[in-house]
Amino acid sequence: MTELAYDASEGTAPLHRRLAANAARPLQWLLKLLPGIALLLFWQWASGRLIKEIYVSKPTAVAQRLYELFMSGEIYPHLWTTGQELVLGYVIGVAGGVIGGYTLGRSPRLARIFEPYVMAFYGVPKIALAPLFIIWFGIGMGSKIALASIMVFFLVFYNVFAGVRSVDRELVNLTLVMGANQRQLTYHVFLPAAAPFVMLGMRLAIPYSVIGVIVGEFTSSAQGLGLFIHEASSTYDPAGVFAGIVILLAFVTVANFLAGRLERRLLRWRALSGAGPIDV
Amino acid sequence: MSDRVLAFDGIGQDFPAPGQRTKVRVLDGISFEVDRGKFVAVIGPSGCGKSTLLQMAAGLLAPTRGAVHHRGRKVTEINTEVGFVPQQAQLFPWKTLAENVELPLLLRGIAASERRERVANALASVGLTGFEQHFPNQLSGGMQKRGSIARTLVYRPDIILMDEPFGALDAQTRMVMQSDLQALSMDAGASVVFVTHDITEAVLLADHVVVLSQRPSRLLANIPIDLPRPRNMFEPFRNPGFEAAYDAVWIEFRSQIETGRVH
């Protein structure tokens, strides 16, 4: 919202205001980064002084470990495996959630039959399924993809289900009177109306896909970041653990950024509120 | 060919009452006709089932008893030959104004070039030229209402059903909209069924005012209003004959307010 407001003002605002806006942006970034930098500095200072380094490592050691991992190429197979698991698990979970949520949202009859079951399975702690999934799908990527996608599925499912059900009945009737058939109704009313809910589910699901994959790899695996972190912690290598966590952080950040871009594109109509004329 | 566009024949409607075994009778034997190009206002106390009549004409609800006939054909399914203007503007928030107005044409498979032209004309007729690319939440309430009307006019239905369309607008906007609606409906040559609970609005806009009673509602009167057009919407009392017409409606309506139980 605020960024859009900036864009709008940059073209027309007088010069001094434009300069002010240009100076304000780096300042904001600085303010955003400040707490992070402070935390890192405190960590660096406290390590070895307040807490033993063997417990918490320190930022410079983590940075060095990251550098080594990428230079030696040791990390790439892990990255590749975990990356594939994350993307596949996420995509399968989102697709299943959207299709399932949409179908049940549109059909009250199906919803009456299946909602109690979905609700019951929703309550099952999916993490507890990890060992079972290993038995079913093996210690390869299959079990991790399954675990990630089932966690993502429920989040997306419930959001889409709620979104489709919340569509105004009057709007639907109006569209029917305008001459819409069921396919047109889906395309022009239900999908756009559900889009904010789909986006919300997709954003919420990102960290859950990471949890699913990492827990799966912790439980049993031959390759992957989860395994790498697990091994680092069992060999008293805190720098290695944090290096793994930093990589996961980067994954989530990039995914969030992409989801944010997609959201701004799909939901342009929401962001633009109140930016227009307000007279009769 | 008869001039009768829409006919309500002995309409009765029961709704299930929450927590009760017996049903509530809402409408009881309502019959009236709407002729080509005529403006019919339906007034009645709140909860008397005025809006239900419109839903029946649009085929969104089947009456318990009786039938609605549109151009002599019984309405049994969604009636895409009518236009419907709801109480709230109900523009699609994810479509721009132009896309909103274009939708009925798109749904009806009309060619792109003709769509563009008709959308431009419809927007011009409600005074919204220049706002094509605005999203509904960037428009004021009155502008959204105009958009909603343009979206109905654009596919040229021969009857337009309006459900208290100006109820949520402020007093000034409302007068302007009433005045514009008079001009638009005269131009379009469409019949209008206009549900309202405002006697002044009904008398000013309509050729016939249909007065309904409290629930279970019956038709109390169907009063012709012969005021000359165009009528002055801003100063109702300046229309010659307005007082007499208002009184004729008020006499019928008054009894319903005095016996009012639930509001």
DSSP string of chain A, one letter each residue:
-HHHHHHHHHHHS-HHHHHHHHHHHHHHHHHHHHHHHHHHHHHHHHBTTTB-HHHH--HHHHHHHHHHHHHHTTTHHHHHHHHHHHHHHHHHHHHHHHHHHHHHHH-HHHHHHHHHHHHHHHHS-GGGGHHHHHHHH-SSHHHHHHHHHHHHHHHHHHHHHHHHHTS-HHHHHHHHHTT--HHHHIIIIIHHHHHHHHHHHHHHHHHHHHHHHHHHHHHS-SSSHHHHHHHHHHTT-HHHHHHHHHHHHHHHHHHHHHHHHHHHHHTHHHHTTT-S----
Do the Cβ atoms of A274 and B88 come within 8 Å?
no
Which residues numbered 153-172 in A keep a CB inside 8 Å of some CB on B? Answer: 168, 170-171
- Measured between beta carbons, the chain B residues lying within 8 angstroms of A275 are 138
Q: Which of B208, B245, B84 is nearest to B151 (CA)?
A: B84
Average pLDDT, chain B: 89
Taking residues A86-97, report their average pLDDT. Answer: 95
Q: What are B187's two structure tokens?
A: 């131009």
At A280 the pLDDT is 35
Residue with the bigger pLDDT between B46 and B102: it is: B102
Q: What are B69's two structure tokens?
A: 């006939």
Q: What are A207's two structure tokens?
A: 């960290």
B168 vs A: CB within 8 A: no
Q: Which of B24, B55, B60, B25 is nearest to B42 (CA)?
A: B55
Mean pLDDT check: name the lowest of A16-20, A141-145, B165-169.
A16-20
At B38 the pLDDT is 92
pLDDT bucket at A10, cuts 50 / 70 / 90:
very low
pLDDT digits (tens, 9 = 90+) for A55-64: 888 999 999 9
pLDDT value at B260 more than 80: no
Nearest chain A CA: its distance from B31 CA (Å): 23
Using CA atoms in the order B63, A169, B135, B110, what is the torsion angle rounded to 10 degrees?
-50
Which residues numbered 106-145 in B keep a CB inside 8 Å of some CB on A? Answer: 107-108, 131, 134-135, 137-140, 142-143
At B1 the pLDDT is 46
Residue contacts between A and B (CB atoms, under 8 Å): 82
At A220 the pLDDT is 87
At B261 the pLDDT is 54
State the sign of the Cα–Cα–Cα–Cα dihedral A70, A250, A195, A156: positive
At B215 the pLDDT is 81
Do the Cβ atoms of A173 and B58 come within 8 Å?
yes
Percentage of residues of chain B with pLDDT beyond 70 = 97
Q: What are B256's two structure tokens?
A: 């319903």
Closest chain A residue to the Cα of B109, Cα to Cα:
A179
Do the Cβ atoms of A277 and B138 come within 8 Å?
yes
pLDDT digits (tens, 9 = 90+) for A242-251: 999 999 999 9
pLDDT value at A96 more than 80: yes
At A19 the pLDDT is 62
**Chain A interface test: which of B133, B135, B170 (most A C-beta within 10 Å):** B135
Which residues numbered 198-257 in A keep a CB inside 8 Å of some CB on B? Answer: none
pTM of the shown model: 0.79
Nearest chain A CA: its distance from B216 CA (Å): 24
DSSP, collapsed to helix, strand or coil, labels residue B233 as coil
Q: Which of A167, A231, A71, A4 is nearest to B135 (CA)?
A: A4
pLDDT digits (tens, 9 = 90+) for B135-163: 999 999 889 999 999 999 999 998 999 99
- Measured between beta carbons, the chain B residues lying within 8 angstroms of A181 are 107
- Measured between beta carbons, the chain A residues lying within 8 angstroms of B108 are 179
pLDDT value at A148 more than 50: yes
Whole-angstrom Cα distance, residue A80 to residue B7? 71
Which residues numbered 74-103 in B keep a CB inside 8 Å of some CB on A? Answer: 78-80, 82-84, 86, 88, 90, 92-95, 103
pLDDT digits (tens, 9 = 90+) for B178-206: 999 988 888 888 899 999 989 999 999 99
pLDDT digits (tens, 9 = 90+) for A180-233: 999 999 999 999 988 889 898 999 999 999 999 999 999 888 899 999 999 999
Give the one of A174, A179, A192 whose C-beta lies nearest to B90's C-beta: A174
**Chain A interface test: which of B103, B139, B160, B174 (most A C-beta within 10 Å):** B103
Taking residues B112-118, report their average pLDDT. Answer: 94
At B24 the pLDDT is 86
Give the one of A269, A278, A279 whose C-beta lies nearest to B94's C-beta: A269
Q: What are B251's two structure tokens?
A: 């006499």
Taking residues A248-273, report their average pLDDT. Answer: 85
pLDDT value at A275 more than 60: no
- Measured between beta carbons, the chain B residues lying within 8 angstroms of A163 are none
At B258 the pLDDT is 64
pLDDT value at A8 more than 60: no
Q: What are B9's two structure tokens?
A: 């024949």
Whole-angstrom Cα distance, residue A75 to residue A71? 9
Closest chain B residue to the Cα of A183, Cα to Cα:
B107
At A5 the pLDDT is 39
pLDDT bucket at B22, cuts 50 / 70 / 90:
confident
pLDDT bucket at A12, cuts 50 / 70 / 90:
very low
Percentage of residues of chain A with pLDDT beyond 70 = 89
At A266 the pLDDT is 83
Average pLDDT, chain A: 86
pLDDT bucket at B259, cuts 50 / 70 / 90:
low
Whole-angstrom Cα distance, residue B78 to residue B56? 9
pLDDT digits (tens, 9 = 90+) for A180-191: 999 999 999 999
pLDDT value at A125 more than 90: no
Taking residues B222-250, report their average pLDDT. Answer: 90
